[in-house]
Amino acid sequence: MEQTKFVITEKDMPTAWYNVQADLPEPLPPILHPGTKEPTILPPPLFPAALNEQEFSTERWIEIPEEVQSILRLYRPTILHRAHRLEKALDTPAKIFYKYEGTSPAGSHKLNTAVAQAYYGKQAGAKRLVTETGAGQWGSALSMACSFLGLECKVYMVKVSYNQKPYRRILMETFGAQVLASPSTDTQVGRNILEKDPNSSGSLGIAISEAVEDAFGRDDSFYNLGSVLNHVLMHQTVIGLETKKQFEMAGECPDIIVGCVGGGSNFAGLILPYIPDKLGGKNVQIIAVEPTACPSITKGPLAWDYGDVAGMAPIARMYTVGHSFVPPPVHAGGLRYHGMAPVVSHLAKLKLIEARAEHQIAIFNSAVTFAKAEGIIPAPEPSHAIKVVIDEANKCKESGEKKTILLGLSGHGHFDLSAYEEYLAGNLQDYEFPTEKMQEALKELPQVEV
């Protein structure tokens, strides 16, 4: 009997987050105020002080509060699986492992940081949290976290998703969240847009602006973000910390680690705890996979750009296709952010990680291969990583190498089945990357002298 699952108990769960800023050979660039373009912190009315502190901390370990741990224990530690059946299906000598976050009640890794953010918000006196959501993963996670901690939650959901993904909306409402189709009449931003275009289908940029305006206007509220920021990525390191213990148990070590990147939080959560090993000389190849529709690392420059579409958020140093670039409508909604998290961008610049971009039809093809072997229907986002894992396993078949490959499987695809239907019907489309549109968008990067 070959072992299939590597399970650690909740006693072995990490009690501190790993902060890669302690170990970077070159510190992260600052973030800049969008007006003054001077180094700044996260806007204090929107973020509790504890999160601002974490954002810039260079302490290696930051303790996870017991109340946060107690909620994480509802579903953590998650399982590290050995994909024996996929290996057989591919007839590869490679050993494939996957760390699966889809057993979180929110269906993805997003809950790991949502719980922490809700906790610190409450500690700082908030009665309610406000956020935006596109596809609905992040909104689901924050709704759940607020419900657990007894906070109100308000989610501005991009109108086109609100209408197309009713299940995600109902999930949030079940946990007591108020979910509005954005643009809404609850904010000045929303009212202005609706006045010009009553049929506006919304955008993530508009939803962010509405959520920020809403939280800014009230003493009892914070604004919350589900990716990109340093503290968000740090909260996700529970994934990689658990994985390292599970690999010890398996008596193995990954030669290749693969994760998908949108904002970068699931990828960072898995790989950051391996960075000290890599800096210490360990030979581990780390691959970030993005969609060809929004290839910030593989096609974009490393530049100063706004964190949001409206140009009101702080400016960060990141790989970007330009904050005004609108990516083609691929199903992996979670990978359509214009920039890459500063931490991930920095690691790419330092060549500690590499990146690849994959097309939509190929990733669904890989997703179905994975599902038929392992049973799990993956979300479109991590299916990008699956594509690369299968490529690497096929290379091992050719070369005869027995590499150990680790896949970050960030969530299930139960709410993405309409995308699978399009794929199965042969109606899915690949998009050539509109390089000229990106060039146009890059002209709107902020002018920064540092």
**Site residues, its own copies (CB under 8 A):** 1, 3-5, 7, 9-11, 66, 69-70, 73-75, 81, 84-85, 103-107, 111, 144, 147-148, 166-167, 170-171, 173-176, 368, 371-372, 374-377, 414-415, 417-418, 420-421, 424
Q: Which helix (H) or strand (E) holds 176?
A: none
From the CB of 148, what's the least distance to its own copies, in Å?
A: 7
Structure tokens at 105: 């009640």
From the CB of 215, what's the least distance to its own copies, in Å?
A: 23
Distance, in Å, from the CA atom of 116 to the CA atom of 134, rounded to the nearest integer, reads 21
Nearer to its own copies, 15 or 429 (CB): 15
Nearer to its own copies, 152 or 173 (CB): 173
From the CB of 370, what's the least distance to its own copies, in Å?
A: 11
Nearer to its own copies, 148 or 223 (CB): 148
Beta carbons of 239 and 78 less than 8 angstroms apart: yes
DSSP state of 21: G
From the CB of 149, what's the least distance to its own copies, in Å?
A: 11
Distance, in Å, from the CA atom of 442 to the CA atom of 306, rounded to the nearest integer, reads 11
Residue bearing tokens 């007894």: 150
Output the CA angle 428-336-263, nearest 5 degrees.
140
Nearer to its own copies, 310 or 368 (CB): 368
Number of other CB atoms surrounding residue 251 within 10 Å: 6
Beta carbons of 176 and 101 less than 8 angstroms apart: no
Distance, in Å, from the CA atom of 331 to the CA atom of 11, rounded to the nearest integer, reads 38
Q: Count each helix (H run) and each strand (E run) in the chain, helices first.
A: 19, 17
Distance, in Å, from the CA atom of 59 to the CA atom of 16, rounded to the nearest integer, reads 11
Beta carbons of 57 and 19 less than 8 angstroms apart: yes
Distance, in Å, from the CA atom of 265 to the CA atom of 270, rounded to the nearest integer, reads 9
From the CB of 168, what's the least distance to its own copies, in Å?
A: 9
Nearer to its own copies, 153 or 272 (CB): 153
From the CB of 276, what's the least distance to its own copies, in Å?
A: 27
From the CB of 88, what's the least distance to its own copies, in Å?
A: 11
From the CB of 379, what's the least distance to its own copies, in Å?
A: 12
Nearer to its own copies, 173 or 186 (CB): 173
Nearer to its own copies, 10 or 220 (CB): 10
Half-sphere exposure of 26 (CA within 13 A, CB side): 10
Q: Collapse the DSSP code of 377 into the 3-class scheme (helix H, G, I; strand E, B; otherwise coil) and give the result.
A: coil
Rounded to 5 degrees, what are φ and ψ at 181? -75, 130
Q: Collapse the DSSP code of 259 into the 3-class scheme (helix H, G, I; strand E, B; otherwise coil) and give the result.
A: strand
Nearer to its own copies, 170 or 448 (CB): 170
Residue type, 323: H
Nearer to its own copies, 85 or 397 (CB): 85
Residue burial 294-320, b: 16+ Cβ < 10 Å; e: rest: bbbbbbbebbbbbbbbbbbbbbbbbbb
From the CB of 104, what's the least distance to its own copies, in Å?
A: 8
